[in-house]
Amino acid sequence: MNDCIFCKIAAGQIPSDRVYEDEQVVVFRDIYPKAPVHLLMIPREHVDSLETVSATHEALLAHMLRTLPVVAHRAGLEGGFRTIINTGRGGGQEVFHLHMHLLGGGTLPGF
Ligand code: AMP
């Protein structure tokens, strides 16, 4: 956890282009954007992935989901947005600190 890059971003030890923060989450621009707007929402608390959340995280997860549309609207994504949570190596997760991708702007490719 001490080597977790997203913990360091949340703590302000590594610079990021922060667009939103509150007592539970930080949102910043993805360094390699896959869409005109590509943000990452992370909890301040370290959680490895969606596979390691427990009942104690229910309020946090609800807060993250409820905050995503607020952040999307602030980012100008009035027409909608895509949310992705990569989970585990098989799911394409590269950074093992739970994060929600928020993508939008322009036309997103289909799955
Ligand atoms: P995932 O594959 O779901 O684990 O996604 C990790 C994301 O973190 C990727 O889209 C990376 O581009 C992004 N990322 C990694 N390091 C940084 C960083 N220092 N600042 C912003 N985004 C980052």
Q: What is the pLDDT of residues 72-85, one digit of tens each?
A: 999 999 999 999 99
110 lines ligand 1 (CB under 6 A): no
Instruction: Give me the mean pLDDT over the 81-93 stretch.
Output: 98
**pLDDT score recorded for residue 1:** 52
The residue nearest atom 19 of ligand 1, judged by CA position, is: 31
Map out the domains of the chain with their CATH numbers: 57-111 (3.30.428.10)
Tokens 């995280």 map to which residue? Answer: 57
**pLDDT score recorded for residue 111:** 74
**C-alpha distances in angstroms, 111 versus 15, 82, 84, 95, 106?**
32, 11, 12, 22, 16
Out of 40, 87, 89, mutate this one to test ligand 1's pocket (max ligand atoms within 8 Å of CB): namely 40
Q: What is this structure's pTM?
A: 0.97
Catalytic residue flag (residue 99): yes
Tens of pLDDT, residue by residue over 15-52, are 999 999 999 999 999 999 999 999 999 999 999 999 99
Cα 104 to chain centroid, rounded = 13
5 lines ligand 1 (CB under 6 A): yes
30 lines ligand 1 (CB under 6 A): yes
93 lines ligand 1 (CB under 6 A): yes
